[in-house]
Structure 1
Amino acid sequence: MAKSLSSLWLKSIKRLSKSQQTQGRKLLKSMLPKPVRAPVTRRPKAPQLARVVLPPAKTVTAKRKTAATPAQADRGLPGTWQKFTFPPPGAGRPSAARRLLYWLYLPASARSDTATQRPVVVMLHGCQQTALDFATSTRMNKLAERKGFAVLYPQQSATKDSHRCWHWYQRTTQQGQGEAKLIAEMTIYVQHKHGLDASRTYIAGLSAGAALATIVALRYPRLFAAVGLHSAPVFGTTDSAMNAYRAMQHGSALSHMETARALGRALPQFPGMPAILIHGVRDDVVRRINVEQLTKQLAIVNAAYITRSEPVHRKYTARTDGRSPHHAWQTETYYAGRKPQLVRCDISTLGHAWSGGDSGVAFSVREGPNATLMMWNFFALHHRRPTDAAS
C-alpha cells in the first residue's frame, strides 16, 4: 500500500514534528483497508523450565496522557451524565442499520419545570478519542451547567474503526447517508426523548469529528441552527481514505469551490448555516489550507445571508502569564446585518489540539483562547424558526 503513495505525500509525512508523525501515521493507517493475513501455524510449546524469581527492579515509566473516565468528564457537576445506545434496545433500527453508544449531559436546572426548552450541542470527537475523552478535554459539560444547555456525545464504535475515526471521507457519508444520517437520526431522537429545543440545536467537532459535523450540518441544515468546527478538513472533495489524507495535508485544488456551488444547486431553499471555524496555524495533521478553503466554501453557502462582502478582521495579542494564558489569534468575520454569520479564527503556535481545554487529555491544550466558550457564544446568537426546526 505504501508504494501507491506519491513521493509528495511521503515528503509531507517526513516534515511532521516527531510527536505528530506518530499521529499522522496512525491516522493514515486507520483509514486504509486492513490487509488480509494468512493463517499462522502455531508450533507446540516447548516444556517450560523452572525459573528463579528475582526481586522486581525499580523502573521509571514515562508519563502519558490517560483516557478520561466518567468521573473526570462530570467532576463535581450537579447535572446528570449517562450512557445510552441508539437506537435503544427493542426500537426499530434506523436506515443506517447499526448501533452507536452516546453520552448525554443534562444540567441540573434541566430537571426542574421550566417554561423554555433547553438547547443542545452535539459534540463529535476526533480520531483516537472517545466521547469521555472529548467531554473532558473540551470541558463542555462544565459550561453547559453554567449556561443551561444539554450536550450529546455520539461515540464511534471501535469495531467499525480501530482508531474510532468517523468515516467522513466515504462517498455515502459525504452525500448525507451512512454515519451522517445516523447522527441526524440520533439527534432527533434525543430531542424528543428529553424535550430539548429543536430550534436551538447545534453541532461541533474536532478533526474527523469536525469533518463529519460539516457534512451533517450542511446535509440537514434545518435540524441545526449553527455549526462549530475545530481543525476541520475541507468539505466534500474526497471519496477514499487516500484522498482524505491528501486533502488534510494539501487541501483541494479547485474542486472545493464547485462542491459548495453544487450544494447550493441541490438545495435551492438552503436556510443558511452559521459557522465558526477554529484552527491552529501550526497544525501539521490537518494543515491550515483546509480552514482557508472551508471558509471559502461556507462563504458561498451563506452568500444569500452575508450582507457585507468584505469580512471584518480583528487581532488579539498573546498572554503568557496570569490564570488564563493564551496564544495570539486573529478572526475574520462575515456579518448578516449585525449578527456574525461566518467566523474564522486562526490561532498562532497552536497545533492539532482543542484550544483552551484540559491539557491532561490528548489533543487538547490549556492555553487559550477558549474554543468551547467561543463556540457557545456564537451558537447562542442563532436559532431556527420553529417551522424550519419542525420540518
Structure 2
Amino acid sequence: MAPKASKSKEPVVEKSILGRFSSHLKIGIVGLPNVGKSTLFNTLTKLSIPAENFPFCTIEPNEARIYVPDERFDWLCKTYRPKSEVSAFLEIHDIAGLVRGAHEGQGLGNNFLSHIRAVDGIFHVLRAFEDPDIIHVDDIVDPVRDLEVITEELRLKDVEFVERKVDDLEKSMKRSNDKQLKVEYECCAKVKAWLQDGKDVRLGEWKAAEVEILNTFQLLTAKPVVYLVNMNERDYQRKKNKFLPKIHAWVQAHGAEPIIPFSCVLEKTLADMPEDESAKYCEENKLQSALPKIIKTGFSSINLIYFFTAGPDEVKCWQIRRNTKAPQAAGTIHTDFERGFICAEVMKFDDLKEYETESAVKAAGKYRQEGKMYVVQDADVIFFKFNVSGGGKK
C-alpha cells in the first residue's frame, strides 16, 4: 500500500532565523579568564587542553566534536541492530578568556573576538564559586559584573563593525543609484541605533529582508547564548548558590535564554572515574552530570535538528538547520537526492516506537508521503524517493 499523502494545509510562514543556513554549525565556549572554560572543554572532550591558573593560557581556539546523547537514536540502534551507527555531534570551540577592553585589543582581544565571530553560538561560562587558590581577573567574584563585561565587549565590537558599514554604504550611495544600497543602509542604521541603545541584535524583531542582510555580517551579539553557571560541587548538589538569583534576574531581563548550573569540579571527578564508579558516586550523592543537558541545549540553541535514516545496514542522524525543507534535507545525504527529489516517506519517531515496525505504522495510517514544501521536523524517520538516471530510493 502506498503511503498516505498528508492533507493539504495553509503554508506556515516560518520566522527567519539569524545565522548561517548550514548543517555545519559550531558553538564557542566564552567567558572571562579562570571561570572554567578549558576545564569544561577538557571534560567534554576528554582531551588534554592546558587549563593552567593564569589568563590567556589558551591562545588558539581548540576544537572538538562531541556526540549528542539521544535515547531515540539508541532505541533505533537496538531495534535495527545495524552494521553502522552514526550519531549526531556538536562541534565545540574553546576560546581564550576575554577581558574588559577586548574590543580595543586588550588581552589579545581582537584575535579572540574574531574566534567568536567564526562560531554560530556561545556557551557563556560564568564563575559562581569562590576559591582563593584560583585568581579572578577582577579580584572579586561577581558573575553579574562579568556578564556585563562580556556582553558589552561583544556589543561594542558590533557597533564598531556597523559604523564602518554605514560609512561605506554612505560613500557607495553617492556613487550609485542602486536601490539595494539604500535598503542595506537603512538596515544598518537601524541595527546601529539598536546596539547603541545597549541591546543585543539577537533580541530584536527583524524583517525577513533585514535578517538576510544581517546574516552576511555574523555579528557577535546576533549569536544565540546558553549561560553555564559554574559552581562548587556542594552548591550544585544542594541546588543552591548565592549568585544564582542575581544571575537569573539579569538573564531574564536580557533575553531569558537558557541557564544551566553545573560544577566543573564534579564533572572532572566523574570523567576521571571508570563508568561504573561514576554511576555509583552519582547515586550515592544524589547527583547527575550536567554534560548531556549542556550538549543537547547547545545543539538546539544554534538551530540544529536531525532526522533519522534507519535500516539493518545503518542507523544515522542527519544534521540539518531548523526549517529545512525535504529536498534540501535529502541533499545532505547526496546532492543527487536533492536534484532528483520526488517525495519523502516520513514516520514520526514516536509513532515508530509505539507501533514498533514500519508495516505497523503504515497499517495505523501514520506513514506519510511529503512533497517539496515539507519542512522536516526533529526526529523524523525518512526514506527519500528520487529520480536520477532512471530513479532510485534511499
Normalised TM-score (structure 1):
0.31
RCO (CA 8 Å, sep 6+): is it higher in 1 or 2?
A: 2
Higher-helix-fraction structure: 2
- Greater Rg by CA: 2
